[in-house]
């Protein structure tokens, strides 16, 4: 693995970090129904939101490997996952780049692929225009929490809702980072 790969990607892709989907949309918000999707996981198995929800709420975290705010945010979401919450990362990159990202940043949560080849079907359905963007989808399919970018207070509120603190006592964390 080339350690500089993630730093070069914004240059190779024309600073496309902000374009998290193939077209400009209105991002879904709390209170709206979450669209179902069918995405592959890193093992090639097809996963749908419909099959994930009966076991309880699911946090979906959309990201790109080249996004510095995603690189900053996902390790905090990993803490929420390791604390027992059901978290699924949704990568907008290919399987190889996604695996390298997971290794580099210590990510073990299940990861789904929302590929450019397929036209970013989930990203477009959720109206993404920036990453990271996260949605907490309750068992009934309604989004109960949504966030674009990194906002410490919002992630603390999410952690309180899920019973897991994403931040360690005394940890210096900025209040926000734009997506």
Residues 6+ apart with CB under 8 A from 130: 18, 20, 148, 149, 178, 179
For residue range 82-108, list pLDDT tens digits in order: 999 999 999 999 999 999 999 999 999
Separation of alpha carbons 26 and 3, rounded Å: 35
Report yes or no on 20 lying in a domain.
no
Question: Residue 171 falls within a domain, yes or no?
Answer: no
CATH of the domain at 95: 3.40.30.10
**3-class DSSP assignment, residue 31:** coil
Using a cut of 0.85, tell me whether the model's pTM lies above it: yes
**Count of structural domains, the chain:** 1
**In the prediction, which pLDDT does 15 show?**
34
């Amino acid at each position: 693995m080339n350690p500089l790969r993630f730093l070069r990607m914004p240059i190779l892709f024309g600073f496309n970090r902000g374009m998290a989907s193939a077209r400009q949309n209105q991002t879904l918000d709390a209170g709206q129904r979450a669209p179902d999707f069918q995405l592959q996981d890193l093992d090639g198995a097809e996963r749908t939101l419909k099959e994930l929800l009966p076991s309880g709420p699911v946090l979906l975290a959309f990201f790109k490997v080249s996004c510095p705010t995603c690189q900053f945010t996902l390790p905090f979401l990993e803490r929420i996952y390791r604390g027992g919450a059901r978290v699924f990362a949704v990568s907008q990159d290919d399987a190889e780049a996604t695996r390298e990202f997971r290794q580099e940043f210590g990510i073990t949560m299940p990861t789904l692929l929302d590929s450019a080849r397929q036209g970013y079907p989930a990203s477009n359905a959720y109206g993404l225009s920036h990453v990271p963007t996260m949605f907490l989808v309750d068992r009934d399919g309604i989004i109960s929490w949504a966030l674009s970018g990194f906002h410490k207070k919002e992630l603390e509120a999410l952690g309180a809702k899920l019973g897991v603190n994403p931040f360690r006592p005394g940890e210096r964390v900025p209040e926000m980072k734009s997506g």
